[in-house]
Structures are given as C-alpha cells and as structure tokens.
Amino acid sequence: MEYRQLGGSGLQVPVLSFGTATFGGGNEFFKGWGSTQADEATRLVDLCLDAGVNLFDTADIYSDGLAEEILGKAIAGKRADLLISTKATFPFGEGPNNQGASRFHLLKQCEGSLKRLKTDYIDVYHMHGFDGVTPLEETIRTLDDLVQSGKVRYIACSNYSGWHLMKSLAISEKYGWNRFVAHQVYYSLVNREYEWELMPLGLDQKVGAFIWSPLAGGRLGGKYGRNKPAPTEGRVSEGKSPVPQSAVSEEVFYSITDALEEVAAETGKSVAQVSLNWLLQRPTVSSIIIGARNEEQLKQNLDAVGWNLTIDQVKKLDAASDVPVIYPYWHQRQNLTLNPLPRFY
C-alpha cells in the first residue's frame, strides 16, 4: 500500500481508505447502501489492515449512528493500528440545535461519536457540510478546542465551495487556530468539477483531498455502458445514489464508459479498478474512500493499487470525460499563462 502525506500536515494516510456507509442499514436510505453487521465488518476491517488500508471513514449520520457503533465493535483491540475519520454537521436527533456547526452541536456530536466508536480520540474530524448560519469563528474555535483537548488530532471539511474553504483557512491563520488539512470531496471521471477551483485551491493551500464516491455512486463499477441494460437493482435504480443521475449527460457518460472499457481491455484490469487508478494519478488526491458490501468487492477494489495507467491511457480518459466549463472558468482559461491549470502529466 502506498501512503501519502495528508495536505500540509505530518499525517501519512493510505491511498485507499475504507468507507463504512454500508455498515448498519439502520434506515431506509442507508439500507440501499448495505446492511453490514459487526461480524462481517470485523472481517472487512481485518482484510483492510492486512492490505495496509488503515484509515476508516464514517459519519454520525450514517444509519443514525449505527455505522459508528459497528465500526467501534469491529476495531476492538486494534485502535492503535488504525486511523478513524468521522463527521458532523447534518441533522442528528431532535430539537432546534440538532444540526449545523455551532459549538453546541459540534461538542455534542463529537462526544457522541467518541462513545459510539469506543475511542478516546478521532484522528480526522470533518465538517460534513458548510453551515452558512453559524459564524465561522465559532466553528473553527470549537474545532481548535477539540484538538487542544486531545479529542481530535486533525480537522477537515467536506463538500465546501472554494470561498467556504478559503475563508475558513483565513480565520485559522488570523487567530492561530488549527486549520483544515483535508477536504473530502466528490470527484470521479463522471464529474470533474473539483478540478476547476477546489483542486487549485488545494494545491495552493496544501489541503489534501479525500475522494468520496469515486465510482460515481456505482455507475463506474462496470455494470453500466452503452450496450448494457441498466441494472434494475441497487442504489442507482432505487434512487439512493449520492450522485444524481442528472449530474452527467447520457452521451458523455457513454463516452466515458467506452474509453474505460478500452483501457480495461488494454490493462487486464476491471472498469472499476481503472476508474480508481485514474483518480490516484490526479493532483492533491491523498486517499480514495472505497466501500464494499462484501469481501469480494473489497478485494477487487484493493487491486486498484500497485500499478499505474500510462500517460496515454490517462489522456484517453481525460478526453472522454472532458466537458465545457462554466463561468468564470472559461474566461480564465482564455489566458492559461496567467491562470495555469494543475499539472496532470
């Protein structure tokens, strides 16, 4: 397993990490993702650790806390050998303060996560989404307090816009508080908007990227293609995919799957493995969060590392997935000497 430095921090993380949204199946939405219980979760954790995947990503809202509870059981006796990433912000429980990034909510959620995970500390604590109501000073100071207390090692954000992240970093710098070292983002061959602003920001400010839904909610898993009937079961068909079907046009999607199938044939790898390997060669990417309903899926995803696509193969996939950019990016790209793109090759 390859390890990379997480942003501007000193933390080394594996290029593949394991996502636990499939643990529990505690409500209707997450049942569509999976219903892994403690015994199978323990086997999956052990398989990951044997492969060098020592980072496990979860969140308070995954199955209403059940995913954290199951992960806590699965890592019993192994805490010193692994890293845990969890998140807060979205609605949890009842009451007027049941969501957001206020001091009240974050302290309550952090304590709850620690209890469910059966641990004294969280390695990477994410703001799951941006709270445009709570003053950012309150949020960042609370996170800094959690780091100072030893309950959190590093802080990160997820699903932020460029100005959300940059303002957060500026506040950290202004007051000397801990700063976000990572940004958990959606990024895949199907949707490359991350490259337009968030990737250049990550390069400039040394913010590493954790990638969620690297297979576009399962659409790049090899079951979908130009001449393949769409599956009638699974998250996508049930409307429970985190990536809406409208996120990409049908023709662009088929252009991508055509190119993926060609490259898969050239490499002897699966479409999913090629999709993951393409991401591993992109700037700022520290770790890709993979999920699995069972051991076989996990083993297949683990085979996305240990080899690399050629530059020509990466360029073929880039060309197939390229789409017109929106303003102001098309205007900025009229002069690339002033606004250079990230270096991909």
pLDDT, one tens digit per residue, over 13-72 is 999 999 999 999 878 788 778 888 999 999 999 999 999 999 999 999 999 999 999 999
Share of the chain above pLDDT 70, in %: 97
pLDDT on residue 236: 63
pLDDT on residue 306: 95
Task: Measure the CA–CA gap between 179 and 15, rounded to whole angstroms.
Answer: 22
* 238, pLDDT greater than 70: no
pLDDT on residue 321: 97
Task: Measure the CA–CA gap between 263 and 270, rounded to whole angstroms.
Answer: 9
Q: Grade residue 293 by pLDDT with cuts at 50, 70 and 90.
A: confident
User: Across-strand partners of 56?
Assistant: 18, 84
Dump pLDDT digits (tens) for 167-208.
Answer: 999 999 999 999 999 999 999 999 999 999 999 999 999 999
* Closest to 259 in 3D by CA, of 314, 186, 305, 216: 314
Task: Measure the CA–CA gap between 189 and 316, rounded to whole angstroms.
Answer: 11
pTM: 0.94
Let me know the angle formed at the C-alpha of 329 by 136 and 15, rounded to the nearest 5 degrees: 65
Q: Which residues are catalytic?
A: 62
Q: Which two structure tokens, joined as six digits, stand for 271?
A: 């479409």
User: Across-strand partners of 287?
Assistant: 210
Task: Measure the CA–CA gap between 40 and 52, rounded to whole angstroms.
Answer: 19
Dump pLDDT digits (tens) for 119-139.
Answer: 999 999 999 999 999 999 999
* Closest to 207 in 3D by CA, of 184, 182, 178: 182
Task: Measure the CA–CA gap between 187 and 269, rounded to whole angstroms.
Answer: 21
Task: Measure the CA–CA gap between 66 and 62, rounded to whole angstroms.
Answer: 7
How much is the average pLDDT of 212-226?
Answer: 92
